[in-house]
Amino acid sequence: MHFPSPVSIMWIADLIGARVVGNTEGLAVGINELHKVETGDLVFVDHPKYYSICIQSAASFIIINKEIDVPVGKALLITDTPFDAYCKIVKHFRPFEVAPGMFGLNSIAGEGTYIYPSAFVGNHVSIGKNCIIYPNVTIMDYCIIGDNVVIHPGTVIGSDAFYYNTSKDRELWFKQMPSCGRVVIEDNVNIGANCTIDRGVSNDTRIGEGTKFDNLIHIGHDTLIGKNCLLAANVVVAGVVTIEDGVTLWGGVIVNKTLTIGANAVLLGRTGVGSSLAGNKTYWGAPAQEAGAVKRDLVWIKRIPELWRKVNED
């Protein structure tokens, strides 16, 4: 999430009650989580395992619970509870706003777009030209919909990320990180019925131009889907996944988090993806393997009883 304008790091430190070490003159341009962080961003870390990763990342400002060496030009904001500090910043710059009706504040829809009466459009939403938003669609705050987009009944765009800070030393083990990212749907996308597309935690979930969804598809937070992809029913994609251009995911495919599927890959039905896959190949099975190899293995498996009989006869 970008701030409306750059913010003094000392002002932010005062907001969260933190002590600043390093660049006290810096200006933060936004807040981000580690997978998506950019120069000028704030990021938080509260576990020694990730101290070095955060310090060496593109982040300019690190909310942390211990003083450590910091590179020149960067700053540490030291506080006992970095996660809570991060959440406080998000809630300050992106507070909850009640929508005044079925079409929210500061939202717009382009020429030729038709929104059915029972669809809900939240605050600060932009919908392009010549779109059709069918009944019972929900488009949450700050989402962006391009031109010539069709969204079928029951779909939810921009629900909160499934992203929790877990700690067993407190009464509430699972503490949700507030989602301040967006969903961006590019031009000429078709979204089927009863799909759910989660907003980014602090960045964008993006559906590329020309991509088509069947019904009952779930897309996790901060996932990037390329252009002209095809997703069949019951596909589930976890958070922070990159699906490159021209990928086809057939029915029931499940994709684990933080991996990449290369351009023009085809995943046959019920494939389970646990690691990144190269493009321009066809995959099948769980875990995903090249489909030809899986089929050859199945042929040999079917021959096991015959081979066993031959071994016993010998």
Catalytic residue among 47, 92, 152, 221: 221
Active site includes 124?
no
Q: Which residues of 293-306 are buried (b: 16+ CB within 10 A; e: fewer)?
A: ebeeeeeeeeeeee
Three-class SS of residue 283?
Answer: strand
Three-class SS of residue 276?
Answer: coil
φ/ψ of residue 76, rounded to 5: -100, 135
Sheet holding 126-127, edge to edge: 108-109, 126-127, 144-145, 182-185, 204-207, 224-225, 242-243, 260-261
From the CB of residue 240, how many other CB atoms can be counted at a distance below 10 Å?
Answer: 22
43 burial (CB, 10 Å; 0-12 / 13-18 / 19+) is buried
Q: Is 142 left (phi over 0), alpha (psi -120 to 50) or beta?
A: left
Helices H, strands E: what count in the chain?
A: 4, 34
CB 34 within 8 A of CB 52: no
Question: Which residues are known catalytic residues?
Answer: 221
